[in-house]
Amino acid sequence: MSVELDVFVGNTTIMDEEVYQLWLDGYTVNDAVKVRMEGGVMDECEASKDVLLSDTMDQYRTFQMCERLLHSPAKLANQLLFQIPPHRQIMLIERYYAFDDTFVREVLGKKLSKGTKKDLDDISAKTSVTLKSCRRQFDNFKRVFKVVEELKGPLVENIRQHFLLSDKLARDYAAIVFFANNRFETGKRKLQYLSFQDFAFCAGQLISNWTVGAVDNMVEDMDVDLDKEFLQELKELKILITDKDLLDQHKSLVCTALRGKTKVFIEMEGSFKNLSRGLINIAANISLPLRLYPCRSDRWSAADMKLYLTHYTNSAHILDTFKHQVVWDRYMGVVKSCIFKMYHD
């Protein structure tokens, strides 16, 4: 005796958020049932394991049928097959496009190609995110990337409108797209301590200040591609380290301002040249902006860093012979906030 067929269909599609999460997390039906049993759901309504199994199967089927629609979330709202209340639709989409920070950290800045997809089982093993879930997340990245690639207008807004995501999630996706597009490497060992959110913040800064879109908001890829003219101009900042006079002048200005305000002054003074060189070199060779790392030192506190950078930036304005004030601000504004973000444990 066996159950040959077992379905339950509601006029309003019934979805349990807990089961949805288990499905998204790539649990098999049996594993999901186990998890649910442990979660104590059996105590409600005197359910038995069979009931739970049947319910889980039903829901998994529903989600599978919905998945096609979730690939283009706008369809979910005007499809006729499932009657899903609007707030549920939002939940479905938001959760479907949500990702694990540990997973995204692994693929951030990598090309969203088949090659990377083949490596997903390694990533799955490393992050202990199930392969199924890895695939879904990876495909989401790729799908979003593909769609916004061809769209004009602001990146975040495009993602939000096209995939009906929340502002927060849309920004995260913008960062992912931005990194994937510019292939900024984030896998370096020195950067390992940085979370996805740190990177996402930096990407946000870059998008709003350094991309083409920061000047012109009607071009294609405006938020994905960096402003080339600006990058050219950045090269001219080199004068701050190549011109010995400027360098000295800058240093003394900064040191004067800093003296007595920090415990690590000596160190700051000593490493000024290196630091300055580091910062300016990034500007000259922007494809690796995340070499901002040199600023990091175990002994500087965040406040020290902040103090230092503020004065470092402001002092440059006082330099008479330094003519690139606008570029400098555009550059240092972003660098400063990125460094602040990264300067944590």
DSSP bridge pairs for 211? 226
Give the per-residue contact string, 39-68, with other proteins (x = CB under 8 A; - = no): -----xxxxx-xxx-xx-xx--xx-xx---
Residue type, 160: R
- 38 part of the interface to other proteins, by CB under 8 A: no
Q: What is the Cα 57 distance to its own chain's centre?
A: 34
- The residues, ordered by sequence, that sit 6+ positions from 308 with a Cβ below 8 Å of its Cβ are 254, 258, 262, 268, 275, 300
Query: How far is Cα 202 from Cα 291, in angstroms, rounded to an integer?
Result: 13
Give least dist CB 114 to other proteins, A: 19
Judged by CB under 8 A, which of 81, 125, 215, 318 binds other proteins?
81
- 10 part of the interface to other proteins, by CB under 8 A: yes
Q: How many residues line the site for other proteins (CB under 8 A)?
A: 39
- 78 part of the interface to other proteins, by CB under 8 A: yes
Considering only residues 316 to 345 of the shown chain, the ones binding other proteins according to CB under 8 A are none
Give least dist CB 298 to other proteins, A: 52
H or E element that contains 336: helix 325-342
Yes or no: say if 71 and 141 are a contact pair by the CB < 8 Å rule. no
Yes or no: say if 109 and 203 are a contact pair by the CB < 8 Å rule. no
Judged by CB under 8 A, which of 11, 128, 192, 321 binds other proteins?
11
Judged by CB under 8 A, which of 38, 40, 80, 115 binds other proteins?
80
Give least dist CB 12 to other proteins, A: 6
Give least dist CB 86 to other proteins, A: 7
- The residues, ordered by sequence, that sit 6+ positions from 137 with a Cβ below 8 Å of its Cβ are 99, 100, 103, 104, 129
- 74 part of the interface to other proteins, by CB under 8 A: no
Give the per-residue contact string, 176-205, with other proteins (x = CB under 8 A; - = no): ------------------------------
Give the per-residue contact string, 83-112, with other proteins (x = CB under 8 A; - = no): x-xx--------------------------
Nearest to 299 by CA among 257, 271, 328: 271
Residue type, 252: S
176, 196, 198, 294 from 297: Cα distances, Å? 28, 21, 18, 8
> Which of helix, strand or coil describes residue 211?
strand
Give least dist CB 143 to other proteins, A: 16
Q: Which residues lie near other proteins (CB under 8 A)?
A: 1-14, 44-48, 50-52, 54-55, 57-58, 61-62, 64-65, 75, 78-83, 85-86
